[in-house]
Structure 1
Amino acid sequence: MGKGWLSYASAAAVGVCLTLPAVVHAKTYSVWSCRGPAGEPLSAAAWTSTTVNAAAGDVTFADTCAQGGALSVSLAPGREFSSAVVGMAALSAPPGTRIAGYRLWRSLAVAPPQFLRSFDYGAAVAESAGGAAVPYGCSTWTCTAAGDPGDPLAPANEVTQRRAPLDAVRLQVSCERSWCQRPDRTPAQAALYRAQVTLEDLEPPAAPTVSGQLVDGPVAPGAAVLTVSAWDRGGGVESVSLSIDGRPAQTASTGCREPYVTAVPCPTSVAEHFRVDAGALTAGHHTASGTVADAAGNVTGWGPVEFEVRAPTVADPRPVPVTPPAVLAAPAPGPAQALRAAELRLARRSIVHGAGATAHVTGTLRTPRGAPLAGARLEVTSLDLGVDDPEPRPLARVTTDQRGRFTVPARGDGARRITVAFVPAAGSAPAASASVTVRTRLRLSAEPHPGSLVKGRTLTLQGRLRGAGPSARGAIVRVESIVNGRWAPVGVARARADGRYRWRYRFVHLTRDTTFSFRTVVESTPGWPWPVVRSERQLVDVDIR
């Protein structure tokens, strides 16, 4: 723990050796080609064809997958090749993803050795990772055929990954030398009859933006539009959902359906327009929230976003129920001077307090002319923020004093939206209400165990997110390390209900003694009502012996 900042050489070593996963438990989706899960014909749109060192006509490609055939690549017969020619059809992981595995049904064939002929042809499935491709298949001097072209889905045709993760998987043919003579038959051919490539989507959808009539200002009863603009780097946006006051309201699908036949099966950007019937909501403040899901099922929450529905007026375009005048004028049980047009004001709209402390929400209730409303009973509700499917819960009622003032104690850690409402009579709509966001200051700790270890051993980085209250459950804690001189994400952990988290990594690829720097971060994202919080930097010494 006492080696200080990394030297330039050590930082460079981290960039090569610290190949930690960017996301823990990232979800996956499958891309099918030629034939689907039930054997139905599918296109091979996910595969792209290319050549290396080839002249015109050296390599031929054929794609009859959509008609129940195959995707094939071959070196043209009757030719000599004066360079190391390669022809390939490849399925590459799009940005934000990697290939976690595959199942291919293929057949391979190459020209066998011939007397007084000099050549070495290859046909293979090649796995590409980090820019280097490793072929697995046949060459003139190893085997001349693999698989059964007469029975496309025969078990002999099926191959699976040798290693993972991968950048791409290829079906390729090649002249393995700088010069290959012409054989008496087709030099090399590879055919694909069916493919299931599993892509790991490393990034959830980006935090969406919200716009439209519903959030531009108070809305009248009636239809109002809320637009959610979403993006995803990976498989694309599969659906966008909307909840009102924490209750599911609508889900819009972008139309992509399984089995997926392209590596990016869903649109990478969408703008979903939700029509919300504000007339079905009570007058006052409400919240809109929801989720964005990608093709793999990764989900990003958005909101809550506040909006206000104003009370119906004569000018509204359609009739709406109006509370009878007798109820509108009825005073609250305490003060006789309570009016429907009472004004409830809070001293602050946002309160931040220390962990374990009690926050105090203060305000006043007055008539439109400024006279205090004494003895009025106020209803108080609390809505947890940063949690899934929150439900408002009632708190103890409070009563205004002789000056119309009131105080609501807010106990406990976390983030909440506390709403204070004045209801003139039991069962009537609130005459006035106001909300305040109350949150605890966050603290994030991180501690390595052990602080010094030997190559091959496992590091456990653990800590605790304090102050998040019920929001701590499932909170994403990003692990960062200094890579090539900069802080970069190397892993993710999720906090438990008590805020504790744990992340483990085994060092296996070091070539020199190295000091690693680690820290943990909880980001500020839509629906997470805190700014970014970071732990202190921690050093870990790893020796190679």
Structure 2
Amino acid sequence: MSNPASARARTLIAVAIVPVALATAAPASAGTYRAAICNPDLGARHPDATFERSSRHYRSDASCEVGGDGLVVSHDAHTSGAGTWAAWVVRSPDGTAISRLSVSAAGRAGGGNVPELLGGTVASLTPFAAPAGHLERFRWSGAGANAFAARLRCRRRSGCGPGRGARIRIKRVAVALDDRVSPRLRLDGSLFATGSRRGVQALAPSATDSGGGVRRLLAQVNGQPVTARMTSCHIVDRIATRLRPCPRAAGASFAAATASPPFRQGPNLVRVCAVDYAATTAANRACAQRRVRTDNLCPVSGVAGGATLGARLRRKRGRAIVGGRLLDGNRKGVAGGRVCVATRVRMDGIAERIAVAPLTDADGRFRAWLPPGPSRTIRVAYWPSTATALERYLRLNVPAQPRLRLRPAHPIENGSRVRFRVRLPGPASERRRVRVQARAGRRWLDLRMGLTGAGGIYRARYRFHATTGRRNYRFRAVVPSQAGYPYEAGKSKVKRITVLGRQ
């Protein structure tokens, strides 16, 4: 009599009675690796193979050492019902698929029991070979498979007799696995805490992967690699000795020295990647990036007790002034507190600079003039200790002030040319759009337009051809707001030229 079949056993029984064709859908892009089962040359045992049966009249044996028979299924002296079976089953990890396999197998039929090798999905395993006699090498390839089985099955409709010689055994199983799932990544650590960071901070990534497992954790700062961690995996000569050779979950803790390159004062881009296992560089990866602001240049205040920091920006005589107040927990001014005013030009890759570090007065107030320059982000910080800071952010928008020059500077006759020379303030003033406009009544009309060249200079010409009498023409240069140029839209002073036309 056979035991009640488990859900897994019922699935295999149904497959044995009603074979289904293997899936043929093309696999998705994936990292591929090879794995070995029951291969004594590589030290691979059989922890990823399970013995399953629908009748207790089938027996198993496992000997994967040198000289061993491998994984064996045999039938005892009792009779078994039609369709009963036992098998060594190999299932690929979640998110992976078996694309190829090869196996050394031998088998013997007896008493109505037949040996067979099957491949495909767990729900639709299909026989692809019937081993007999001595060990032979069998191969299978396909798409979308996630299981392989070496099975001994009662195929006789009236049931199977003792069949003591009926058996199947396999050894040196080699599978190629396509890993279709990327790892999941999480970022922790004090480096990602709110506010500016200074000194040594913790960078603690962790990842999980249901396929081949997590192989590496990599960290970059501003596009430069800074550290990596390689996990311990079951790999021999680039062949995995477990179907999931690397840990399903892995983590690391790195000490990030924010005062050393490639970190820079101000905003930094920290990118962390988790990579699963593959035999080549085509491994799946998951990456996450965070903006981290570092501040190792602002001084730590010698006076603690500040709880609230206020700051505002205003202009006076064409210059910018930052002012504010430092208050304690009782809303009273903190005197003698060191406040840091830092500026950063709003361009990628530009480090922050400390403009001034004033002390608060007896009422907790401070004021500082900012040097002239392009549009900037202003950060006002108060560090009561090295652990944390009070910070306020302001935006200083500066319009571009191009310089327009006309040549010649003296009056010219109709039919002559005027030469325009426009210089834009730096930085990043090359290949910027410029328009030269002429005044026509109450409107300004575009006369010439183009891009600046070396040194942020744009040159153009115009010939006067319809001037009568003596006329004064007015011109200006206009610069629109544009990506990568740290200025708002602006215009030059108006320049004039006198043209003497026909009388």
User: Normalised by the shorter chain, which TM-score bucket?
Assistant: 0.5 to 0.7
SS at match of 2:187: strand
- Say if 1:163 and 1:217 are closer, same or farther in 2 by CA, change over 3 A: closer
After superposing the two structures, state which structure 1 stretch, 41-50 or 68-77, moved more.
Answer: 68-77
* Structure 2 partner of 1:59: 58
CA distance 1:190–1:271, shift in 2 (3 Å): same
Please name the residue that 2:289 is paired with: 304
1:48 and 2:34 are equivalent in the alignment: no
The answer as to whether partners of 1:217 and 1:308 remain within 8 angstroms in 2 is no
Correspondence for 1:110? 109
Which of residues 167, 177, 180 is equivalent to 2:156? Answer: 177
CA distance in structure 1 between the aligned counterparts of 2:343 and 2:126, rounded to whole angstroms: 71
> Which residue of structure 1 aligns with residue 259 of structure 2?
279
Determine the C-alpha separation between the residues in 1 that align with 2:100 and 2:190. Answer: 46
Structure 2 match to 1:35: 39
Residues 399 and 406 in structure 1, CA contact (< 8 A), matched pair in contact too: no
Q: Residue 229 of structure 1 is aligned with which of 203, 206, 210?
A: 206
1:255 counterpart = 2:259: no
Q: 1:321 — aligned with what?
A: none
Q: Does residue 120 in structure 1 map to residue 122 in structure 2?
A: no
Q: How many Å separate the matches in 1 of 2:222 and 2:321?
A: 32
Shift of residue 128 of structure 1?
2.8
The aligned counterpart of 2:172 is 194
Aligned equivalent of 2:82: 83
Aligned letter for 2:118?
A: A
Distance 1:81 1:370, change over 3 A: same
Could you tell me how far 1:220 is from its partner in structure 2?
5.5
Secondary structure of 1:161 counterpart: strand
Q: Deviations over 1:440-491 (max 9, x none)?
A: xxxxxxxxxxxxxxxxxxxxxxxxxxxxxxxxxxxxxxxxxxxxxxxxxxxx
The alignment covers a number of residue pairs equal to 319
Gaps of 5+ in 1: 1-17, 112-118, 139-144, 150-156, 317-334, 351-364, 381-397, 413-437, 440-545
Q: Which amino acid aligns with 1:214?
A: L
User: Which aligned pairs between 1:368-517 and structure 2 lie closer than 5 A?
Assistant: 373=370, 375-376=372-373
- Label 1:337 to 1:191 Cα distance change in 2 as closer, same or farther (>3 A): same
Other structure's SS at 1:279 match: coil
In our comparison, the structure showing a higher alpha carbon Rg is 2
Which residue in the other structure is 2:100 paired with? Answer: 101
Is the Cα–Cα contact under 8 Å of residues 42 and 241 in structure 2 kept in the other structure?
A: no
CA shift for structure 1 position 218: 4.7
The 1:225/1:62 distance shift into structure 2, 3 A limit, reads same
Equivalent position of 2:124 in the other structure = 132
Out of 206, 209, 217, which is 1:240 matched to?
217
2 CA distance for matches of 1:213 and 1:271? Answer: 15
Contact 1:35 1:68 in 2 (8 A): no
Q: Which amino acid aligns with 1:290?
A: V
Pairwise CA distance, 1:135: 1.8
In structure 1, what residue type is equivalent to 2:132? A
From the superposition, tell whether residues 120 and 366 of structure 1 become closer, same or farther in structure 2 (CA, over 3 Å).
same
Structure 1 length normalisation: TM-score?
A: 0.50
Equivalent residue for 1:167?
146
The 8 Å contact of residues 84 and 174 in structure 1, kept in 2 or not, is answered as yes
Partners of 1:107 and 1:147 within 8 A in 2: yes
Q: Give distance in 2, aligned partners of 1:133 and 1:29.
A: 22
Shift of 1:379: 10
Residues 260-271 of structure 1 aligned to structure 2 (within 5 Å): 260-271=240-251
Superposed displacement of residue 341, structure 1: 4.8
- The answer to whether the Cα contact below 8 Å between 2:191 and 2:202 also exists between their aligned partners in 1 is yes
Q: Percent identity among equivalent residues?
A: 18
Which residue in the other structure is 1:294 paired with? 276
Q: TM-score, normalised by structure 2?
A: 0.54
Distance in 2 separating the partners of 1:46 and 1:236: 15
- One-letter code aligned to 1:173: L
Given the superposition, is the C-alpha separation of residues 256 and 219 from structure 1 closer, same or farther in structure 2, using an over 3 Å criterion? farther
Change in Cα spacing, 1:184 to 1:101, as seen in structure 2 (3 Å) is closer
Residues 346/312 of structure 1: CA separation in 2 closer, same or farther (3 Å cut): closer
What letter is aligned with 1:243?
Q
CA contact (8 A) 2:340 2:356 kept: no
The 3 A distance-change label for structure 1 pair 399 and 179 is: same
Once the 2 structures are TM-superposed, how far is the Cα of residue 27 of structure 1 from its aligned partner? 1.6
User: What SS is found at the alignment partner of 2:212?
Assistant: coil
Alpha-carbon distance change, 22 to 375 in structure 1, aligned in 2, over 3 angstroms: same
> 1:308 and 1:70, CA in 2 relative to 1: closer, same or farther beyond 3 A?
farther
Q: Aligned partners of 2:24 and 2:81: how far apart in 1?
A: 39
Give distance in 1, aligned partners of 2:101 and 2:265. 55
1:136–1:20: structure 2 CA closer, same or farther, 3 Å change rule? closer
The gaps in structure 2 that reach 5 residues or longer are 1-22, 302-318, 323-338, 349-354, 359-365, 378-396, 402-424, 433-482, 485-503
Partner of 1:203: 181
Q: Quick one: structure 1 residues 253 and 184, their matched pair in 2 at CA, closer, same or farther if it must change by over 3 Å?
A: closer
Match in the other structure for 2:15: none
Contact 1:124 1:137 (8 Å CA) reproduced: yes
Could you tell me which residue of structure 2 aligns to residue 473 of structure 1? none
Give, as a single letter, the amino acid of the residue that structure 1 aligns with 2:75: A
Q: Rate the CA distance shift 1:178–1:370 in 2: closer, same or farther, 3 A.
A: farther
* Counterpart amino acid of residue 197 in structure 1: V
8 Å CA contact 1:77, 1:182 repeated in 2: no
**Alpha-carbon separation, structure 2, partners of 1:167 and 1:377:** 61
Q: Tell me if structure 2 keeps the 8 A contact 1:284–1:311.
A: no
2:42 maps to amino acid:
E
CA distance in 1, matches of 2:163, 2:207: 57
RMSD: 4.3
Tell whether 2:68 aligns with 1:69.
yes
* CA distance, structure 1, for counterparts of residue 127 and residue 244 of structure 2: 25
- The answer on 1:148 being equivalent to 2:148 is no
Q: C-alpha offsets along residues 57-76 of structure 1, whole Å, 9 cap, x if unaligned?
A: x1111111145524333332
